[in-house]
Structure 1
Amino acid sequence: MLASLVPFLSLLISTLLMMVAFGLQSYVVPVRAVAEGWSTQTITWIATGYTLGFTSSCIVTPKFILAVGHVRVFVALITLLSIAILLCSLMVDWRAWIVFRTISGFAIAGSYLIIESWLNERVTNENRASVFSLYVMITMVGSVAGQYLVPLGDPTNTTLFILCAIIFSVSLLPTALTSSPLPAPPTQARFNVLKLYRRSPVAVVGAFLAGALSGAWLNLGGVFTQRIGLSTAQGATLLAALLVGSTLAQIPIGRASDRMDRRLVMVACGIVGVAASLAMIAVQGGPPTLLYVVAALVGSVLFPIYALNVAHANDLAQPDEYVEVSSGMMIVYGMGTISGPLVAGPVMDRFGPTALFAVFTLYFAIYGGYAAWRIARRDAASGMVAKTDYQAMPVQPLGAEASAAALQGESSDEPLIADTTTPQWTKP
Structure 2
Amino acid sequence: MFASLIPVTSLMVSTLLMMIGYGLMNYLLPVRAVAEDWSPFLISMTATGYTVGFTLSCIITPKLVLRVGHVRVFGALITLLTVSILISSLVVVWQAWIIFRAVSGFAVAGCYLVIESWLNERVTNETRGTAFALYMVVSLGGSIGGQYLVPLGDPLNTSLFIVCGMVFAIAILPTALSTAQSPAPIAQAQFGVGRLYRRSPAAFAGAILAGVLAGAWGSLGGVYTTESGFTTAQGATLLAFVLAGGALGQVPIGRISDRTDRRYVMIACGIIGMLASTFMFFLSAETLYLLYGTAFLVGSMLYPIYALNVAHANDRADPSEFVTISSSLMILYGLGTIAGPLVGGAAMEIGGPRGLMLYLALGFFGYGAFAAWRVWHGNPMVTPEERSDFQAVAVPMRGTDPAGSFAVDYEEEYEPNVYAETEDEPEKQA
Q: TM-score by structure 2 length? A: 0.93
- 1:78 shift after superposition: 0.3
Matches within 5 A, 1:311-322: 311-322=311-322
Distance 2:304 2:292 in 1: 18
Q: Which residue of 2 aligns with 1:404?
A: 402
Q: Does 1:211 align with 2:211?
A: yes
Query: 8 Å contact 1:187–1:426 — kept in the other structure?
Result: no
In percent, how many aligned pairs have the same letter?
Answer: 56
Structure 2 residue aligned with 1:423, among 403, 406, 425? 406
Q: Does 1:156 align with 2:139?
A: no
Matches within 5 A, 1:53-72: 53-72=53-72
- 1:381 shift after superposition: 3.8
RMSD across aligned positions (CA):
1.4
- 1:379 shift after superposition: 2.8
Query: 8 Å contact 2:327–2:400 — kept in the other structure?
Result: no
Q: Which residue of 2 aligns with 1:34?
A: 34
Structure 1 pair 426–112 and aligned structure 2 pair: CA distance change class (3 A): farther
Q: Which residue of 2 aligns with 1:182?
A: 182
- 1:249 shift after superposition: 0.8
- 1:403 shift after superposition: 3.6
- 1:397 shift after superposition: 1.3
Runs (5+) with no aligned partner, structure 2: 411-430
Q: Which residue of 2 aligns with 1:408?
A: none
Distance 2:333 2:313 in 1: 13
Aligned residue type for 1:100: F
Q: Which residue of 2 aligns with 1:277?
A: 277
Distance 1:426 1:285 in 2: 52
Post-superposition Cα deviations, 1:366-414, rounded to whole Å, max 9, x if no partner, equal 111110110111233423971111000111112xx54433xxxxxxxxx
Q: Which residue of 2 aligns with 1:410?
A: none
Q: Which residue of 1 aligns with 2:22?
A: 22
Distance 2:287 2:28 in 1: 24
Number of aligned residue pairs: give it.
Answer: 410
Give the 3-state SS of the residue equivalent to 1:298 in structure 2: helix
- 1:181 shift after superposition: 1.2
Runs (5+) with no aligned partner, structure 1: 406-420
Query: 8 Å contact 2:186–2:405 — kept in the other structure?
Result: no
Aligned residue type for 2:405: T
Q: Which residue of 1 aligns with 2:424?
A: none
Give the 3-state SS of the residue equivalent to 2:393 in structure 1: coil
Aligned residue type for 1:72: R
Structure 1 pair 149–425 and aligned structure 2 pair: CA distance change class (3 A): farther
- 1:189 shift after superposition: 3.3
Q: Which residue of 1 aligns with 2:344?
A: 344
Q: Does 1:294 align with 2:294?
A: yes
Q: Which residue of 2 aligns with 1:97?
A: 97
Post-superposition Cα deviations, 1:297-350, rounded to whole Å, max 9, x if no partner, equal 100100000000011111111111111101100000000000001111011011
Give the 3-state SS of the residue equivalent to 2:181 in structure 1: coil
- 1:426 shift after superposition: 8.8
- 1:195 shift after superposition: 1.7
Query: 8 Å contact 1:315–1:386 — kept in the other structure?
Result: yes
Query: 8 Å contact 2:23–2:144 — kept in the other structure?
Result: yes
Aligned residue type for 2:195: K
Structure 1 consecutive aligned stretches of length 4 or more whose deviation exceeds 6 Å: none
Query: 8 Å contact 1:270–1:365 — kept in the other structure?
Result: yes
Q: Which residue of 1 aligns with 2:139?
A: 139
Query: 8 Å contact 2:347–2:355 — kept in the other structure?
Result: yes
Distance 1:249 1:204 in 2: 22
- 1:291 shift after superposition: 1.1
- 1:187 shift after superposition: 2.4
Query: 8 Å contact 2:140–2:243 — kept in the other structure?
Result: yes
- 1:165 shift after superposition: 0.5
Give the 3-state SS of the residue equivalent to 2:397 in structure 1: coil
Post-superposition Cα deviations, 1:69-93, rounded to whole Å, max 9, x if no partner, equal 1100000000000000000001111
Distance 2:351 2:384 in 1: 46
Distance 1:129 1:425 in 2: 23
Q: TM-score by structure 1 length? A: 0.94
Distance 1:157 1:59 in 2: 36
- 1:8 shift after superposition: 0.4
Give the 3-state SS of the residue equivalent to 1:204 in structure 2: helix
Distance 1:55 1:385 in 2: 34
Q: Which residue of 2 aligns with 1:109?
A: 109
Q: Does 1:222 align with 2:222?
A: yes
Distance 2:71 2:149 in 1: 28
Post-superposition Cα deviations, 1:214-252, rounded to whole Å, max 9, x if no partner, equal 000010000000011000000000000111111111110
Q: Does 1:307 align with 2:307?
A: yes
Post-superposition Cα deviations, 1:138-160, rounded to whole Å, max 9, x if no partner, equal 11000000000000000000000
- 1:425 shift after superposition: 5.9
Query: 8 Å contact 2:50–2:102 — kept in the other structure?
Result: yes
Give the 3-state SS of the residue equivalent to 1:187 in structure 2: coil
Structure 1 pair 8–91 and aligned structure 2 pair: CA distance change class (3 A): same
- 1:67 shift after superposition: 0.6
Distance 2:49 2:37 in 1: 19
Q: Comparing 334-343 with 184-193, which one deviates more in the overlay? A: 184-193
Distance 1:286 1:369 in 2: 33
